[in-house]
Structure 1
């Protein structure tokens, strides 16, 4: 039987101590199966960013357990955690996080370079990823020569280039205009149809409408977990 991509069990996260103690997560359990497309929603302070950091192996829970693709994340040291992040998770951030003086293709190649992939294979895979987001003809352009929407599509190509188990996007349309937002959501829709596992952190109903499932957090707890007929995904 296929193991879930994400299996969070009773996760808690506490910051500070004594009078300054903040409970960011209060016993969150969440399972995401392969091929699911999930939107995690919540207002500021709801715990959604904390949950994203735990899902992305950027932070560890104070209590509970987390398995990524069957791997118990709590058992890993920093080196193995970094390898797991590089190979299993493709990150897409609101601010793109592209290296300014590098070409689009070189930016997309970065995760492969960190993973020790040879130059010729890096170039081939990076060009294929850029083609997948409709930017095959922009590989030689630096970020400042691209629109915001194009920069985010480069960031998506970079996230896809390692063929990750999970695509994790944090407010991916937050810095985009309406047309670029539609372009990016169209890419996610297509990736979902291809069977990719996608988790999007968002506060925007328009973005969440494209997901197959909406999970809503309030005060560190899941208060809603429902399936829906998504916009644009058959």
Structure 2
């Protein structure tokens, strides 16, 4: 895996000239058109855009779930171009904490066991897994729910468990895809309060959202139209 040693001030995300084309010829779809973007350590960024704007494509590339047609991407000092799928999976586990709209919790596992999962995949020993998972649940205010399964938790609590799971590996980047999309207004506030606290503590957060009220909580708003960044407010 080609890497450089990141300094404490190195950007978490540095992309240059990202292009993503689906298909060929007259039917080709240009989802990204030379996107250039830097996200510094500790930044809190909302990426917005209508359906078809390219925001989901950009998220998938930033999350190392897809690769660009052209352009470069350095994640916390690691050049992801040319990495194998196995190397990308290791990078995702170590460097990125994912938060999805649908929570993606395992139904018959406790909150604690769900938070331990990425640590187990990363080869962390059981005692250390438990310690780090409990610490992550404490950060999101759910220590007392550690032994509860998802069906015993509210939607907001399930999403906070998902946030704890994302935090457990101490990733360089928290990447959230519509994290409040399935929540009522009260639960939305609870989850956004947690993200605000994490941002205040210096975590780097990038979230995809179509909701202005969610974007207003961030430090920086990037808006995409037809694969181009047309606004970068708060940079």
Q: TM-score, normalised by structure 1?
A: 0.96
Tell me which residue corresponds to 1:117: 124
- Within 2, Cα distance between the matches of 1:124 and 1:222? 41
- Within 1, Cα distance between the matches of 2:110 and 2:180? 22
- Within 2, Cα distance between the matches of 1:150 and 1:5? 28
Displacement of 1:20 in angstroms is: 2.1
Tell me which residue corresponds to 1:162: 169
Q: SS of the counterpart of 2:32?
A: strand
Tell me which residue corresponds to 2:21: 14
Tell me which residue corresponds to 1:232: none
Displacement of 1:136 in angstroms is: 0.2
Given the alignment, which residue of 50, 58, 65 partners 1:51? 58
* Structure 1 segments (4+ residues) deviating >6 Å: none
Q: Which consecutive unaligned segments of at least 5 residues does structure 1 have?
A: 229-234
User: How large is the Cα RMSD of the aligned pairs?
Assistant: 0.9
Q: TM-score, normalised by structure 2?
A: 0.95
- Within 2, Cα distance between the matches of 1:71 and 1:154? 28
Given the alignment, which residue of 203, 206, 218 partners 2:210? 203
- Within 1, Cα distance between the matches of 2:68 and 2:31? 10
- Within 2, Cα distance between the matches of 1:219 and 1:124? 45
Displacement of 1:57 in angstroms is: 0.3
Q: Which moved more, 1:173-182 or 1:75-84?
A: 75-84
Given the alignment, which residue of 147, 159, 169 partners 1:140? 147
Aligned ranges 1:76-87 → 2 under 5 Å: 76-87=83-94
Displacement of 1:80 in angstroms is: 1.3
Displacement of 1:17 in angstroms is: 1.3
Displacement of 1:65 in angstroms is: 0.6
State whether structure 2 residue 185 is matched by structure 1 residue 185.
no
- Within 2, Cα distance between the matches of 1:145 and 1:88? 30
Aligned ranges 1:100-115 → 2 under 5 Å: 100-115=107-122
Q: SS of the counterpart of 1:3?
A: coil
Tell me which residue corresponds to 2:4: none
State whether structure 2 residue 110 is matched by structure 1 residue 98.
no
Displacement of 1:60 in angstroms is: 0.4
Q: SS of the counterpart of 2:114?
A: helix
- Within 2, Cα distance between the matches of 1:6 and 1:214? 15
Q: SS of the counterpart of 2:66?
A: coil
Q: Which consecutive unaligned segments of at least 5 residues does structure 2 have?
A: 1-6
- Within 1, Cα distance between the matches of 2:74 and 2:62? 9
Number of residue pairs the alignment of both structures matches = 228
- Within 1, Cα distance between the matches of 2:62 and 2:191? 22
Q: SS of the counterpart of 2:81?
A: helix
Q: Which deviations, in whole Å up to 9, do the C-alpha atoms of 1:76-105 show, x marking residues without a partner?
A: 111111111001000000000111111110
- Within 2, Cα distance between the matches of 1:16 and 1:76? 23
